[in-house]
Structure 1
Amino acid sequence: MSEHQHPGEDCVDFLERIVYLLDNELDEADCSAVRLHLDECSPCLEKYDLQRTVKAVVARSCSEAAPRELRERVMLRIREVQVRITEG
């Protein structure tokens, strides 16, 4: 068993649960288990930090409004596709 494995569980199990931890979808027992693993496993902690950073960037990006010109081009393209479907 390597230094970042626990009996019966390996990093793959924890990496899957990291996403749920970030989304607050784990019960307290699972949160504790994942946090304990992250305290002991640098590779998993790095992946956790990367996932957390990506989630924060995406969340920040989703709150920004697109420039007016871009919105207008997208709406025009949607209308063009709708017309083609209707005429199709």
Structure 2
Amino acid sequence: MTDCGCEKAQRELEEYLRHEVCKTSAKDIAEHLENCPGCQDEALVARTLTEVVARACKESAPEELRDQVLARLRAVQATH
């Protein structure tokens, strides 16, 4: 086992979670996460935040709100 250490694991955590690190680094980070509760917590927070942001980006405003905003924008544009 090659423990990459907390510093490297935390520095490359975002890229690791997006599968953007080389296989060797990914293996080292995965092994470190298996044995480091602190980094496991960091990874959980990062995963959760990524999932919440991804879900929020997929949501759309209700049609009524969308219509109200567009009507207000048009009204403002018409007066300028």
TM-score range, shorter chain: 0.7 to 0.9
Instruction: Give the share of equivalent positions with the same residue, in percent.
Output: 31
What TM-score do the two structures reach when normalised by structure 2? 0.73
Which consecutive residues of structure 1, in runs of 5 or more, have no partner in the other structure? 1-5
The 5 Å alignment of 1:50-65 reads: 50-65=45-60
Q: Cα RMSD (Å) of the superposition?
A: 2.3
TM-score by length of 1: 0.68
Contact 2:6 2:39 in 1 (8 A): yes
- Say whether 1:45 aligns with 2:36: no
Within 1, Cα distance between the matches of 2:7 and 2:73?
41
Q: Tell me if structure 1 keeps the 8 A contact 2:5–2:32.
A: no
1:78 & 1:25 partners in 2: Cα distance? 41
Q: How many residues align?
A: 76
Task: Work out the CA distance in 2 between the residues paired with 1:78 and 1:17.
Answer: 43
Looking at both structures, which has the greater relative contact order when contacts are Cα pairs under 8 Å and sequence separation is at least 6?
A: 2
1:21 matched to 2:16? The reply is yes
